[in-house]
């Protein structure tokens, strides 16, 4: 109603009513001059050039008033979302405190920091630097927003609209109130905007200060790191056979306690900063634990072969918690952002603890005692690895502590025997690896290279322990997969009942082994203080731009392209594998099988993967077109067959003349379709061999598909009887044999007299069975039944006979034949039989 009233008032003002029957025409300028007066109190906010500009019309004033009111509200909403000054202030204070502590620590005289501590400082400064960069981006973004708001507010302030007031506010009260509110909002917004700009500028200054301090620390860290790396091969302390007194203000035990307290605080701080990841990790552990407990309980109680299934399980049945932790702890590191050495050491220690429980179950008492001693040395070296200073007093402890692992690794590589030869080979190799590193550490310690000896010794023992843990990690995961598959198998035809555990294990085990190798490599480089150097070198090598002619590339882009292509091929083949397993074992109709349609899915995945890989590797499309052009030339010369098979595969996928599980004949080959591939298809012959048939041959040659429409099969049996037999009786006997359960009643079995042979009357027996899978068995069964029925009914199955008549032979040949006949003719009485009289 207010809008309509305002519109009516404005309309009457434009028309101008001066009395009944009289109309006065008013110009816009006269309206402004008659209704408005300039407000000098607002001149301080308005530019002088604007004040001197030409007077606006009434229409301009009203439209601008509405527009500026909306803009003022938008500015107000933007300013109502200020920076979280409390959070930023706390973070900046924490950054400054950390930087101050590090600065004080490195400036303390008499401190000899080790390479591990320098790498730890580098990790801390890099972590602060990344968070500082994130804050800087947010602050800069906010400052940019405030600058835009200030520009927008200046546009409103510099408009002459704000210098006009109605002479009589009762004429257009809504407009007067709106303009008054607009002026008040502008004054308030101007002050609030200025205040927020000052706060944001202060944060920018603090962040710049932190950046400068971090640059100074990074410079110090880089210098000390290079010095320590250069001094690794130099003599630090006396040779072992030399006498030298090392000042020892504190014992190794006291230093260890301080180191544990310090690193425990670091660990607590890290976990506090990553609460979301910690909660997710605990949830995954609880979920997997209760899931496997439920699976084992239901397999044991419900499955017919539950005991046999659980007999194959070594870990989850007795120690579900330890098995769960062993399978998840190596993967939890991926949930945390930039894990520190303290956190990695904590995870490895937990892995060793839970793996110890599983080792106790699997190996003998002697091997378990050796493992326990190795665990104790591992704990000592892990604590020693967290020292931040060079503590030469621990030299003798490291020397003595490396002797037993050195002895144990030598024993394990020569005398360890298990039933699993792969396990034996793995343990032999990893023991040999530890033996080499411990030997290097022992020699370096003897010759006064203390830092090198400690790094190599700790890396060798920790690498050995984690390798054993990761070995159990892979085995426990495979055991969990086995239990889940058995749990989900049902009597009915469900998808999970088609899985072949051996095939799944073969595919998954490779993936988890690859992940285990990556985890072990990362941890080993971290413990050997080589991670940063290796990562920097690899990044420099992979990201360096190289040229072939005018085309540039990097090794990193090539590797990324290959990885993505391999991943797409792996995904496509995995989908094809599961689809083929499902179709081979599925007894439902042919139209419900995926069959050759999987080929289209594989092609789609590979094509999408190719373009994603090309985009990720920054390969220009024009280069792809060049490659395709080169391929087209190759097709014209030598790739016709390959392209023919590829196109034939696509045609097979669309037309679907064959499906996985079909019984087919191609030329002289016959068998069951096992796979429809991109270039060729696989047929499993009835003798067990697998035949690879190019897809082009499936289209170009005569193809017989016994199961295209249905699985029924007609069987033909031919049988002959003697000429003296009763033919009606023969027919009725055969029909009686065919009256059995597995022989279909429709189509009706037929017994046909087919031929008068030389020695028999031949009958042709035709009957149908429900599925082609049993036709050979049924054919043999019917033939055996016919033979038995003929014997019972005195029906003779003749065989060929010949009568030979000899006429006009020469006399000498006739005499010879008679003599031979006399010699071969059996006597009436056996030679060995005696008469009763004798």
Token digits for 471? 């070995």
- DSSP 3-state assignment of 589? coil
Q: What is the three-class DSSP state of 113?
A: strand
User: How far apart are the C-alpha atoms of 422 and 71, rounded to whole Å?
Assistant: 74
833 sits in the region (left: phi over 0; alpha: psi -120 to 50; else beta) called beta
Which of 4-8, 92-96, 536-540, 572-576 is the least confident region?
A: 4-8
- How many residues in the chain? 838
- Confidence at residue 117, expressed as pLDDT on a 0 to 100 scale: 74
Winning range, highest mean pLDDT, from 179-193, 287-301, 820-834: 287-301
Which one has a higher pLDDT value, 669 or 804? 669
∠ Cα 44 45 51 (to 5°): 80
CB atoms under 10 Å from CB of 754, counted, come to 14
Greater model confidence, 818 or 723: 723
What is the arrangement of strands in the sheet containing 713-721, beginning at the earlier edge strand? 713-721, 761-769, 750-756
Q: Both tokens of residue 90?
A: 């706390």
Phi, then psi, of 816 in degrees rounded to 5:
-65, -40
Cβ proximity of 734 and 751 under 8 Å: yes
* Tokens representing residue 351 in the block: 């892995």
Q: Which two tokens stand for residue 646?
A: 């590829």
Q: Which two tokens stand for residue 198?
A: 């000052």
What whole-number distance in Å separates Cα of residue 205 and Cα of residue 211? Answer: 10
Predicted confidence at residue 9, as pLDDT, reads 41
- CA atoms of 327 and 164, how far apart (whole Å): 77
pLDDT in tens, 41-87: 554 444 545 444 455 566 666 777 778 778 888 888 887 776 777 77
Q: How far is CA 791 from the centre of its chain?
A: 68
Reported as a single tens digit per residue, the pLDDT across 615-673 is 877 777 666 666 666 666 666 666 677 777 778 877 877 777 887 778 888 888 888 88
| Residue found under tokens 């017989």 | 704
Quote the pLDDT of residue 220. Answer: 82
DSSP class of residue 278 equals: H
pLDDT per position as a tens digit, 98-126: 888 778 777 666 566 777 777 777 778 88
Q: Using only C-alpha atoms, what is the Rg of the chain?
A: 46
Stretch 442-462: mean pLDDT: 84
Q: pLDDT (tens digit, 9 = 90+) per residue, 740-795?
A: 888 888 888 999 988 888 888 999 999 998 888 788 888 999 999 999 999 888 88
- Which helix H or strand E contains 694, and what residues bound it? strand 690-694
pLDDT value of residue 610: 84
- CA 718 to CA 770: how far, in whole Å? 21
DSSP 750-804: EEEEEEE-SS-EEEEEEEEES-GGGHHHHHHHHHHHHHHHHHHTT----------
> What distance in Å separates the CA atoms of residue 734 and residue 751, rounded to the nearest whole number?
7
Is 795:763 a contact under the CB 8 Å cutoff? no
CB 586 within 8 A of CB 592: yes
pLDDT at residue 159 greater than cutoff 60: yes
Q: Report the pLDDT value the prediction gives residue 283, as an integer from 0 to 100.
A: 94
Task: Say how far apart CA 240 and CA 257 lie, in whole Å.
Answer: 27
Backbone CA torsion sign across 618, 622, 628, 633: negative
In which band, very low, low, confident or very high, does the pLDDT at 809 lie, cut at 50, 70 and 90? Answer: low
Give Cβ neighbours of residue 435 (< 8 Å, ≥ 6 apart): 406, 409, 410, 413
In whole angstroms, what is the distance from residue 71 CA to residue 149 CA? 10
Helix (H) or strand (E) holding 720: strand 713-721
Distance, CA of 301 to CA of 285 (rounded, Å): 24
Model confidence over 345-386: pLDDT tens digits?
A: 888 899 999 999 988 877 778 878 888 888 888 888 888 877
* Helix or strand (DSSP H, E) at 18: strand 17-19
Q: Which regions of 116-239 does DSSP assign to beta strands (E)?
A: 164-166
Cα separation of 242 and 235, whole Å? 13
Among 126-140, 289-303, 562-576, 635-649, which is the least confidently predicted range?
635-649
Average pLDDT, the chain: 76
**Statement: residue 19 has pLDDT above 50:** no
pLDDT in the model for residue 805: 67
**E-strand stretches of 445-577:** 546-548, 551-553
| Residue 353, pLDDT score | 92
Q: Is the pLDDT of residue 600 over 80?
A: no
Q: Cα-Cα-Cα-Cα dihedral of 248, 250, 255, 258, to 10°?
A: -150
Contact 449, 233 (CB under 8 A): yes
**DSSP H stretches of helix in 231-274:** 252-273
Between 555-559, 597-601, 611-615, 770-774, the lowest mean confidence (pLDDT) is in 597-601
Q: Which of 95-99, 500-504, 673-677 has the lowest mean pLDDT?
A: 500-504
Beta bridge partners of 681: 676, 693
Region 322-346 average pLDDT: 87
pLDDT at 2: 41
pLDDT in tens, 264-279: 887 888 888 888 899 9
769 forms bridges with which residues in the sheet? 713, 743
Largest pairwise CA distance in the chain: 176
Asked whether the beta carbons of 400 and 381 are under 8 A apart, the reply is no
Q: What is the pLDDT of residue 124?
A: 81
The pLDDT of residue 23 is 38
pLDDT reported for residue 11: 39
In the predicted model, what is the mean pLDDT of residues 416-426?
64
Pick the more confident residue, 71 or 176.
71
Q: Per mean pLDDT, which range of 39-53, 219-233, 637-651, 683-697 is the poorest? A: 39-53
Strand ranges in 364-481 using DSSP code E only, listed in sequence order: none
The C-alpha atoms of residue 331 and residue 114 are separated, in whole angstroms, by: 30
Closest by Cα among 752, 775, 776, 756 to 765: 752
- pLDDT value, residue 284: 93
Please say if the pLDDT value at position 806 is more than 80.
no
Q: In percent, how much of the chain has pLDDT > 90?
A: 5
Report which of residues 609 and 5 the model is more confident about: 609
């Amino acid at each position: 109603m207010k809008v309509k009233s305002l519109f009516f008032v404005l309309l009457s003002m434009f028309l101008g009513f001066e009395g009944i029957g009289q109309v006065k025409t008013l110009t816009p300028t006269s309206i402004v001059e008659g209704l408005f007066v300039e407000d000098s109190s607002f001149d301080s906010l308005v530019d002088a050039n604007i004040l001197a500009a030409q007077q606006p019309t009434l229409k301009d004033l009203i439209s601008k008033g509405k527009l500026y009111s909306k803009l003022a509200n938008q500015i107000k909403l933007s300013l109502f979302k200020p920076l979280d000054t409390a959070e930023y202030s706390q973070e900046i204070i924490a950054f400054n405190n950390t930087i101050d502590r590090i600065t004080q620590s490195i400036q303390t005289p008499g401190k000899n920091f080790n390479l591990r501590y320098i790498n730890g400082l580098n990790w801390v400064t890099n972590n602060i630097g990344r968070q500082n960069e994130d804050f800087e981006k947010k602050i800069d973004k906010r400052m940019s927003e405030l600058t835009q708001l200030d520009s927008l507010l200046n546009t409103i302030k510099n408009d002459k609209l704000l210098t006009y007031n109605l002479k009589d506010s009762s004429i257009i009260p809504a407009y007067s109130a709106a303009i008054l509110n607009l002026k008040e909002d502008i004054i308030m917004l101007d002050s609030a905007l200025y205040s927020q700009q000052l706060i944001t500028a202060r944060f920018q200054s603090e962040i710049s200060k932190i950046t400068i301090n971090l640059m100074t620390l990074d410079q110090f860290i880089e210098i000390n790191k290079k010095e320590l790396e250069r001094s690794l091969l130099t003599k630090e302390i006396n040779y072992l056979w030399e006498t030298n007194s090392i000042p020892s203000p504190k014992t190794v035990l006291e230093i260890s306690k301080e180191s544990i307290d310090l690193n425990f605080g670091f660990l607590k701080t890290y976990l506090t900063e990553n609460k979301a990841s910690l909660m997710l990790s605990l949830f995954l552990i609880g979920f997997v634990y209760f899931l496997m407990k439920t699976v084992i309980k239901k397999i044991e109680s419900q499955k017919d072969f539950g005991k046999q299934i659980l007999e194959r399980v070594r870990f989850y049945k007795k120690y579900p918690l330890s098995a769960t932790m062993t399978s998840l702890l190596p993967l939890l590191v991926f949930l945390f952002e930039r894990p520190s050495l303290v956190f990695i050491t904590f995870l490895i220690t937990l892995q060793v603890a839970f793996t110890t429980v599983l080792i106790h179950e699997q190996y003998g008492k002697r091997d378990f005692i050796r493992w326990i001693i190795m665990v104790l040395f591992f704990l000592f070296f892990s604590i020693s690895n967290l020292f931040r200073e060079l503590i030469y007093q621990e030299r003798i402890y490291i020397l003595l502590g490396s002797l037993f692992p050195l002895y144990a690794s030598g024993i394990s590589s020569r005398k360890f025997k298990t039933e699993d030869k792969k396990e034996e080979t793995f343990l032999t190799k990893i023991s040999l690896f530890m033996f080499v590193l411990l030997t290097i550490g022992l020699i370096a310690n003897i010759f006064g290279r203390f830092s090198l000896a400690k790094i190599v010794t700790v890396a060798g023992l920790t690498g050995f322990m984690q390798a054993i843990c990761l070995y159990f990690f892979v085995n426990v995961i495979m055991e969990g997969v086995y239990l889940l598959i058995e749990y989900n198998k049902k009597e009915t035809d469900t998808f999970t009942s088609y899985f072949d555990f051996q095939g799944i294990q073969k595919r998954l085990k490779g993936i988890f082994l690859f992940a285990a190798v990556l985890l072990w490599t990362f941890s080993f480089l971290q413990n050997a203080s080589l991670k940063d150097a290796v990562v920097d070198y690899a990044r420099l090598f992979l990201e360096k731009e190289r040229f072939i002619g005018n085309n540039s590339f990097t090794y990193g882009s090539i590797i990324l392209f290959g990885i993505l292509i391999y991943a797409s091929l792996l995904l496509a083949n995995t989908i094809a594998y599961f689809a083929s397993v499902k179709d081979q074992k599925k007894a439902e109709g042919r139209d419900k099988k995926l069959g050759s349609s999987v080929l289209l899915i594989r092609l789609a995945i590979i094509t999408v993967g190719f373009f994603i890989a090309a985009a990720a590797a920054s390969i220009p499309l024009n280069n792809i077109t060049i490659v395709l052009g080169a391929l087209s030339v190759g097709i014209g010369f030598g790739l016709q067959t390959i392209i023919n098979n590829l196109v034939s595969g696509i045609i097979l996928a669309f037309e679907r003349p064959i499906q996985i599980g079909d019984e087919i004949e191609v030329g002289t080959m016959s068998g069951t379709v096992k796979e429809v591939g991109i270039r060729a298809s696989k047929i499993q012959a009835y003798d067990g061999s697998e035949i690879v048939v190019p897809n082009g041959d499936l289209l170009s040659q005569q193809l017989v598909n016994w199961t295209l429409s249905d699985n029924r099969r007609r069987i033909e049996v031919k049988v002959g009887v003697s000429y003296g037999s009763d033919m009606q009786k023969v027919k009725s006997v055969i029909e009686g044999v065919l009256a059995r359960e597995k022989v279909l009643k429709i189509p009706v079995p037929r017994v046909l007299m087919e031929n008068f042979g030389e020695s028999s009357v031949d009958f042709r027996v035709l009957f149908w069975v429900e599925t082609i899978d049993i036709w050979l068995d049924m054919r043999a069964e019917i033939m055996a039944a016919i033979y038995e029925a003929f014997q019972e009914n005195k029906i003779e199955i003749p065989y060929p006979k010949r009568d030979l008549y000899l006429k006009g032979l020469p006399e000498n040949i006739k005499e010879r034949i008679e003599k031979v006949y006399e010699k071969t003719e059996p006597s009436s009485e056996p030679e060995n039989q005696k008469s009763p009289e004798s």
